[in-house]
Structure 1
Amino acid sequence: MPRQHPAEPWRIKMVEPLRVTTRHERQQALKEAGYNISLLRSDDVYIDLYTDSGTNAMSDRQWSAMMVGDEAYAGARSFYRLEAAVRKYYGYEHIIPTHQGRGAENLLSRILIRPGTHIPGNMYFTTTRAHQELNGGTFHDVIIDEAHDPLDEHPFKGNVDLAKLERLIAEVGAANIPYVSVAATVNMAGGQPISMANLTEVRDLAQHHGIAVMLDAARAVENAYFIKQREPGWATHSVADILREMCERTDGAAMSSKKDSYANIGGWLAVRDPQLAEQARNLVVLYEGLHTYGGMAGRDLEAVAAGISESVQEENIAARVNQVAYLGDLLTEADIPLVQPIGGHAVCVDAAAALPHVPREQFPAQTLAAALYLDSGVRAAERGAVSAGRDHSTGQNRYPRLELIRLTIPRRVYTQSHMDVVAESVIQVHKERDRLHTGLDFAHEPETLRFFQARFTPSGSGAGSDPFE
C-alpha cells in the first residue's frame, strides 16, 4: 500500500527554534501591524507561509560551497561557476547576475519597455507589472479563462490564450510589443503551470511577428515537473531535460534564485541576444554591481550554482510538490474552497468563497489571512484586491476574479506535522467564518505595491464590532 506522504529525500542536521505565542499576544501583534500580515515581525509568527522566496533551507553542499566563494570585485571565479550552471541547465548564453529576481525585472524593463508599449502575459505578478508600468508600459492579461476559475481542473491553467494574444497584436501592432511575458508557473493563479505545447505555440506566434518571449523562470523547475506528470509525451523525460526544452522556446529569462534554486538571496537575467546582454551588463553596474557579481557576494553566487543542480534532481522536486499536495489534499477533504488543481509552491484558499458575506471592497483575503494568524500564528499571503492595487487611469480598486490567501510552502523547511497544524487552523477558521462579520478598510494606503506597507482597520469599527477581538 503506497504511503499517503512519501518520506523526504533528506534528513535534518540543524534546527531553528520556533516561538509559540498566545492568542492575546497575536491580537496585539496584529493590531500593531495594522492587520497587515506583511508587517508582522517574524518572531511573532509560528509557521511562516508568507512566501517561498529566500526562505528555503540550503543543503550542506550549498553551505560548503559558500566557503569557497571568491569575493573579488571583478571576474570572480564564483561568477563563472554560476554562469556554467545556468548554461548547462537553462541553456542561455549570456548571464547577468542580480541581487534577486526584481533586479532582473528592472533591467529587462528598462532595456525593452518604452512609454506607450504593451506587454502581454499569462496573468500579472505584482512586482513585474509595477516595473512594466513604471517604465511606461501597459500589461495585458492573455491567460486562458480557466485560470480565473478556482474550481476549473484544467491541468495547465498557466497557458496563454493564443486568440487573445493575436487580438492584442492586431490591435496595438507588433512593433509596440517589446516581448511576451511568460510565467512558469503562474504565481497569482495559484502556482499553475504552462504546457510545453502551449509554450511552443506562443514561441511560434511571437516569432512570426518578430516579438521576443521572456520567461519568468523563478519556478520553472516546478513547471517542468508538472509537464512530466501531466502532459502526454513527456513522462519519460527527465525534469532537467524538460526545463532545458522550456527555455529553448524563449529568448531570455528573469530568475529569482530564491525559489527553485533553494538560495536565500540572488537572481539573474539571461538572454540570447548579445546586444541585449551588452546593454544589461552596462545597466547592471548602475543598479546592482559589476556584471560579474551583480549585487551578490561570491559566497551567494556559489550557493545559487550548487542549488541549481540540486533543484532538478527528481527526488527533490517530487518531494517539494508532494508536500504542497499533501496540505492541499487535507484541506480539500475538509471542503475548504481552494484553487484546483493544487499548484507547485502553494495552496490557495478562495477567500471570496470562504467569506461570501464580506464585500470585496472590505478585502476578504486580507481579512481571512488576519483571522488565520490570530487563530494559530500561521502567516499566509494575501493575493487578491489588495495585491492588485488601483487602476492608474480611474483610481479605482482592481478586483481580480481570484481573491485568495496563499499558503506558500518554503522548500525543505517544514515537516508533515507542520502541515497538519496549518490544515487544522484553516479548517477551524473556516468553521467559525461567521464570526468574521466584517472585513477591513484602509487606514494607510501606499501608492505603489500597497500590500507590503498598507495598514488596515476593521470596517465600521466600534464597540463590539471588531471580529478580531
Structure 2
Amino acid sequence: MKKVKPEPFKIKMVEPISKISRKKREEALKRAGYNLFSLNSDEVYIDLLTDSGTGAMSDNQWAGIMSGDESYAGSNNFHNLSNTVKEVFDYDYTIPTHQGRGAEQVLFPILLDEGQFAISNMHFDTTKAHVELSKGRAVNLVIDESRDTSKYHPFKGNLDLEKTKEFINEKGADNIGFIIITITCNSAGGQPVSMKNIKETSKLAKKYGIKVFMDAARFAENAYFIKQREDGYENKTIKEIVKEMFSYAEGFTMSAKKDGIVNMGGIIGIKNNKELYTKARSRVVPLEGFPTYGGLSGRDMEALARGLKEGIDFDYLDYRIGQVKYLGEKLKEAEIPIQEPVGGHAVFVNAGKMLPHIPYDQFPAQVLGNALYLESGVRGVEVGSLLLGRDPETKENLKSPLELLRLTIPRRVYTNNHMDVVAKGLIKVKDKVDQLKGLEFTYEPEVLRHFTARLKPIKE
C-alpha cells in the first residue's frame, strides 16, 4: 500500500457538491460555447479550473476577518500586512491590490516604455496581456527541457541564461524594460525555478542595468521545491529560502489568491527603491484605491497577512504538493502523458500527445478539457495555443510549444478520493480520443480570448 500523507488539519465546515446528468452537461457545454470558463459552478462536480482564490481559509484567517479595520486610510490591517511582507520577504514597501492583474496594471507602465521588451521564463496570460497593454513585447525564454514533458529535469522553469544574454545583446539593454521570473512557472507546467538560476539571472541583469522582478503567485511552492531538489538547501527552512529568493529581485507582483490562500487579494512588493514605490503608490490611487487598501477591505488584508505565514508552513506544503503528486502518479500509471516531474499546483496533461490528430489552431487541450467535463463533470483549463492568443502585429494564431490541459488543485478543498474521480474520468476519455474533433471560434475577443471566447466543434 502506498504511503499517503494525511491532511495537516481537521475539517470544520463542508460545502455539498453534486453531479448533474451527462445530458445536462452536454446542454451546459453547448450553451457555454464549449468554453469551460462559461459554465455555472453548480454545473461542475469537481472544479479544477484554477487554484486562484478557490482555496479554503483556516479558522485563524476567518478569525482575522472579524478584526477587520475598515478605515479608509491607515487601516491597522494594512500595517499588519506590511509588517508580514517585511517579515517574510524582507521588503520595505507594500502596496495592496485587488489581485495580481491589479498589481501588473499599476506597475508595468512604470517599467516599460513603448516598444520595450519584457523577458520572462514564461509569462502567464494576464502578465503577457499587461505587458502588451503597456505597449511592450513579452518574450519567453524558458529552458528547452520544459518542452519535453517526459524528460526529468528538477527545475524546468529555469530561464535560459544563454538565450537571455543573446537576446539582450541583439536588442540592446536599453530596449529591455525588465526581467520577470515566474515562480513557479505556470505555463511550463507549474515547474520551479532553482535558486542558482534566480541568482545568476540577477547577476546577468545587473551587468546590463536591467531590473529583475518576481511573479510571486506561487512563491512558497517554488521554495518547497528548492528545499527538496537543490543541493545545499535541504536543511534550510522555507522562510529562509523565500528570503534568499527575493533578495535577488527589485520587487514583485503577486496574486495572493494562490500561496496567500485567500479568496481575493494581490500585492506589489518593492525591496528598497523609494522612487519606484512613490510612482507605484501614485498610480494605485486611480486604478485600485487608496495606497493603504488598494482595492481590498481591511478584513481581506488581515486574512492575507495570516495566509502568507500559513502558506510557508512546511507540513502544509508537504501535504499540498503531495496531493498534486498523487493525482499525477495516478495518471502516469494509466500511461496518460503529463508534464514530469509533477509541479506544485496542478497536473498538466499533454493534450498534444494525446490528440495528435487535432492541429494547434483547433485547440487540442480545450477539446480534451471539454471531453473530461462531459465524461465526469470535472472542469480543467486549457494552457496552450488558445491561451497564447495571436501575434499582436501579424494577428496570426501563435503556436504554443506545449498543448496542456491543466488540472489545478485548490488548496485544502478536495480529498484524494476526489483525485481518484478525476483520474478515472480522464482514463475513460483516453480510450476514445480518436473520436474527438477540433474547435473553431464563433466569437473571439481581442484580449485574453480564452476567458470569454465562444467555440463550436468543427464539422468534417
- TM-score between both structures, scaled by the size of structure 2: 0.99
Contact 1:190 1:343 in 2 (8 A): yes
Within-5 A mapping of 1:140-159: 140-159=139-158
Structure 2 CA distance for aligned equivalents of residues 140 and 31 of structure 1: 35
Structure 2 CA distance for aligned equivalents of residues 72 and 322 of structure 1: 40
Within-5 A mapping of 1:17-166: 17-166=16-165
Shift of 1:391: 0.7
User: Residue in 2 aligned with 1:336?
Assistant: 336
Shift of 1:114: 1.2
User: Residue in 1 aligned with 2:371?
Assistant: 371
The ranges of structure 1 where at least 4 consecutive aligned residues each deviate by more than 4 angstroms after the TM superposition are: none
User: Residue in 2 aligned with 1:192?
Assistant: 191
Cα RMSD (Å) of the superposition?
Answer: 0.9
Query: Helix, strand or coil: the match of 2:406?
Result: strand
1:170-221 Cα distance to aligned partner (Å, 9 max, x none): 1121122121010110000110000001110000111111111000011010
Contact 1:55 1:264 in 2 (8 A): yes
Within-5 A mapping of 1:22-421: 22-272=21-271, 273-421=273-421
Contact 2:361 2:386 in 1 (8 A): no
Shift of 1:161: 0.9
Structure 2 CA distance for aligned equivalents of residues 361 and 263 of structure 1: 35
Shift of 1:435: 2.1
Shift of 1:169: 1.1
Contact 1:256 1:267 in 2 (8 A): yes
Contact 2:387 2:449 in 1 (8 A): yes
Query: Helix, strand or coil: the match of 1:52?
Result: coil
Structure 2 CA distance for aligned equivalents of residues 211 and 441 of structure 1: 41
Contact 2:96 2:291 in 1 (8 A): yes
Query: Helix, strand or coil: the match of 1:178?
Result: strand
Determine what percentage of the aligned residue pairs are the same residue: 51
Contact 2:118 2:176 in 1 (8 A): yes
Structure 2 CA distance for aligned equivalents of residues 151 and 341 of structure 1: 8
Amino acid at match of 1:160: L
Shift of 1:228: 0.3
Is the counterpart of residue 424 in structure 1 residue 428 in structure 2? no
Structure 2 CA distance for aligned equivalents of residues 434 and 175 of structure 1: 50
1:252-303 Cα distance to aligned partner (Å, 9 max, x none): 0001110001100001101121000001111000100000000000000000
Shift of 1:19: 2.0
Shift of 1:359: 2.0
Select between 137-146 and 408-417 the one with higher mean Cα deviation: 137-146
User: Residue in 2 aligned with 1:434?
Assistant: 434
Amino acid at match of 2:73: A
User: Residue in 2 aligned with 1:465?
Assistant: none
Query: Helix, strand or coil: the match of 1:268?
Result: strand
Query: Helix, strand or coil: the match of 2:6?
Result: coil
Contact 2:216 2:252 in 1 (8 A): yes
Contact 1:149 1:401 in 2 (8 A): no
1:353-389 Cα distance to aligned partner (Å, 9 max, x none): 0111122221111100000000011000011111000
Number of equivalent positions:
459
Shift of 1:124: 2.1
Contact 1:336 1:427 in 2 (8 A): yes
User: Residue in 2 aligned with 1:464?
Assistant: none
Structure 1 CA distance for aligned equivalents of residues 54 and 153 of structure 2: 30
Structure 2 CA distance for aligned equivalents of residues 135 and 257 of structure 1: 23
User: Residue in 1 aligned with 2:459?
Assistant: 460
Structure 2 CA distance for aligned equivalents of residues 147 and 360 of structure 1: 18
Structure 2 CA distance for aligned equivalents of residues 360 and 292 of structure 1: 45
1:47-70 Cα distance to aligned partner (Å, 9 max, x none): 000000000000000000010010
Query: Helix, strand or coil: the match of 2:386?
Result: helix
Structure 1 CA distance for aligned equivalents of residues 3 and 405 of structure 2: 25
Shift of 1:414: 0.2
Query: Helix, strand or coil: the match of 2:310?
Result: helix
Select between 108-117 and 295-304 the one with higher mean Cα deviation: 108-117
Structure 2 CA distance for aligned equivalents of residues 18 and 399 of structure 1: 37
Contact 1:103 1:288 in 2 (8 A): yes
Contact 1:284 1:294 in 2 (8 A): yes
Contact 1:96 1:281 in 2 (8 A): yes
Select between 130-139 and 56-65 the one with higher mean Cα deviation: 130-139
Shift of 1:107: 1.2
Contact 1:91 1:244 in 2 (8 A): yes
User: Residue in 2 aligned with 1:466?
Assistant: none
1:222-272 Cα distance to aligned partner (Å, 9 max, x none): 000000000011000011110111001111000111000110000110112
Query: Helix, strand or coil: the match of 1:299?
Result: helix
Amino acid at match of 2:431: K
Structure 2 CA distance for aligned equivalents of residues 416 and 328 of structure 1: 12
Structure 2 CA distance for aligned equivalents of residues 444 and 94 of structure 1: 42
Query: Helix, strand or coil: the match of 1:242?
Result: helix
Structure 1 CA distance for aligned equivalents of residues 304 and 48 of structure 2: 22
Query: Helix, strand or coil: the match of 2:347?
Result: strand
- TM-score between both structures, scaled by the size of structure 1: 0.97
Provide structure 2 residue ranges, at least 5 long, that are not aligned to the other structure.
Answer: none
Provide structure 1 residue ranges, at least 5 long, that are not aligned to the other structure.
Answer: 462-469
